[in-house]
Structure 1
Amino acid sequence: MSAAEEIAKLAKSAFEDSQLVASAERVNALHHIRKALESNKSQILAANREDLQAAQIEVDAGRMSESLLKRLDLDKSDKWDSMLQGISDVADLPDPTGIVSYAKELDDGLELYRVSCPIGVLLVIFEARPEVVVNIAALAIKSGNSAILKGGKESNKTTQLLSQAIATGLSQSSLPATYVQTIQTRAEVASLLALDQYIDLVIPRGSNSLVQNIQNNTRIPVMGHADGLCSVYLDESADVDKAVRVVLDSKTDYPSACNSTETLIVHESLLQSVWPIVGRALLDAGVRLLCDPPTLIALSSLAPQPLNLALAGPSTPSSYRTEHLALTLSVVALPSLPAAVRFINAHSSHHTDAIVAESQAAASAFCRGVDSAGTFVNASTRFADGFRYGFGTEVGISTGRIHARGPVGLEGLVIYKYMMRSTDAKGHVVGDFGAGGKRYKHKDIVAAAVPF
Structure 2
Amino acid sequence: MTALDTSPLLTDLGRQTRRAARHLATLSHDDRHGALEAIATALEAATPEILAANAADCEAAIRADLPKALYARLQLSPSKLKSAIAGVGDVAKLPDPLGHVQIHRELDQGLILKRITCPLGVLGIIFEARPDALIQITSLAIKSGNGVILKGGSEALQSCQTLTRIIQQAITPTAVPADGVQLLTTRAEIRALLTLEDYVDLIIPRGSNEFVRYIQDNTRIPVLGHADGICHLYIDQFADLEMAIALTLDAKTQYPAACNAIETLLIHEAIAPQLLPPLVAALEAQGVELRGDAATQAITPMATATDGDWGTEYSDLILAIKIVPDLAAALDHINTYGSKHTEAIVTEDGAIAQEFQQNVDAAGVFHNCSTRFADGFRYGFGAEVGISTAQIPPRGPVGLEGLITYKYQLTGSGHIAATYSGDQAKPFTHRDLA
TM-score by length of 1: 0.91
Q: Distance in 1 between matches of 2:21 and 2:142?
A: 10
Using the TM superposition, give the Cα deviation of residue 108 of structure 1 relative to its aligned residue in structure 2, in angstroms.
1.3
CA distance in 2, matches of 1:106, 1:269: 62
Letter in 2 for 1:117: C
- Please give the alpha-carbon distance, in whole angstroms, between the structure 1 residues aligned to 2:283 and 2:52: 36
1:10 corresponds to: 16
Cα distance in 2 for partners of 1:149, 1:341 equals 39
Query: Given residue 338 of structure 2, which amino acid in structure 1 is its aligned partner?
Result: S
Once the two structures are overlaid, the 10-residue window that deviates more, 16-25 or 403-412, is 16-25
Find out whether 1:429 has 2:430 as its counterpart: no
> Structure 1 counterpart of 2:120, which letter?
I
**Aligned equivalents of 1:123 and 1:432: distance in 2?**
45
> For 1:440, which of 420, 428, 431 is the aligned residue?
428
Partner of 2:270, secondary structure, is: helix
Shift of 1:395: 0.6
Is 1:353 the counterpart of 2:356? The answer is: no
Are 1:407 and 2:394 counterparts?
no
Provide the rounded CA distance (Å) in 1 between the counterparts of 2:281 and 2:262: 17
Q: Which residue of 1 aligns with 2:3?
A: none
- Deviation per CA, 1:54-110, whole angstroms, max 9, x where unpaired? 111122xxxx2222212222125x111111101100000001111122222111122
Match of 1:74 in 2: 76
Summarize deviations over 1:177-221 as a string: whole Å, max 9, x none.
Answer: 110101011211111111111111111111121121111111111
CA distance in 2, matches of 1:363, 1:220: 39
The whole-number CA distance in structure 1 between the counterparts of 2:268 and 2:17 is 52
Structure 1 residue matching 2:237: 3-state secondary structure: coil
Contact 2:25 2:118 in 1 (8 A): no
Compute the displacement of 1:402 (Å): 3.4
Match of 1:153 in 2: 154
Equivalences for residues 134-145 of structure 1 within 5 A: 134-145=135-146
Alignment of 1:25-424 (within 5 A): 25-59=31-65, 64-76=66-78, 78-300=79-301, 312-422=302-412, 424=413
**Do the aligned partners of 1:223 and 1:402 also contact (CA within 8 Å) in 2?**
no
Question: 2:25 touches 2:146 (CA, 8 Å); kept in 1?
Answer: no
Residue 284 of structure 1: CA displacement?
3.0
Deviation at 1:384, TM superposition (A): 0.5
Q: Which amino acid is the alignment partner of residue 288 of structure 2?
A: V
Detail structure 1 runs of 4+ shifted over 3 Å in the superposition. none
1:309 is matched with none
User: 1 CA distance for matches of 2:159 and 2:425?
Assistant: 66
Aligned residue type for 1:436: Q
- 2:53 alignment partner, SS class: helix
Does the CA contact (< 8 Å) of 1:83 and 1:134 recur in 2? yes
List alignment gaps of at least 5 residues for structure 1.
301-311, 447-452
For residues 223 and 139 of structure 1, the distance between their equivalents in structure 2, rounded to whole angstroms, comes to 15
Letter in 2 for 1:94: P
Q: Secondary structure at the match of 1:379?
A: coil
Distance 1:116 1:20 in 2: 12
Q: What amino acid sits opposite 1:383 in the alignment?
A: F
- Please tell me the residue identity of whatever aligns with 1:2: P
SS in 2 for 1:83: helix
> CA shift at 1:436, angstroms?
1.7
> Any unmatched runs of 5+ in structure 2?
1-6
Shift of 1:13: 0.9
- Quote the offset at 1:239 in angstroms: 1.9
In the TM superposition, residue 266 of structure 1 has moved relative to its aligned partner by 1.0
Residues 123 and 147 of structure 2 are in contact (CA less than 8 Å); yes or no, is this contact kept in structure 1? Answer: yes
Contact kept? 1:203, 1:225, Cα under 8 Å: no
Q: Distance in 2 between matches of 1:336 and 1:30?
A: 50
What's the TM-score once normalised by structure 2's chain length?
0.95
Counterpart-to-counterpart distance in 1, 2:275 and 2:292:
15
| Percentage identity across paired residues of the two chains | 45
Deviation at 1:278, TM superposition (A): 2.5
For the Cα contact (< 8 Å) 1:250–1:381, is it kept in 2? yes
For residues 338 and 293 of structure 1, what CA distance do their matches in structure 2 show?
Answer: 19
Equivalent AA in structure 1 for residue 373 of structure 2: F
Measured against aligned partners, the alpha-carbon deviations of 1:408-440 in whole angstroms (never above 9, x if no partner) come to: 101111111111122x4xx21111113323211
Q: Paired residues, what number?
A: 427
Q: Is the partner of 2:113 in helix, strand or coil?
A: strand
Deviations along 1:219-264, one digit per CA (max 9) or x if unpaired, are 1111123232111011222221221121111111111111111110
The match for 1:303 is: none
| Cα pair 2:249 2:283 within 8 Å, conserved | yes
CA contact 1:353–1:372 (8 Å) conserved in 2? yes
> Is the contact made by 1:226 and 1:398 (CA closer than 8 Å) also made in structure 2?
no
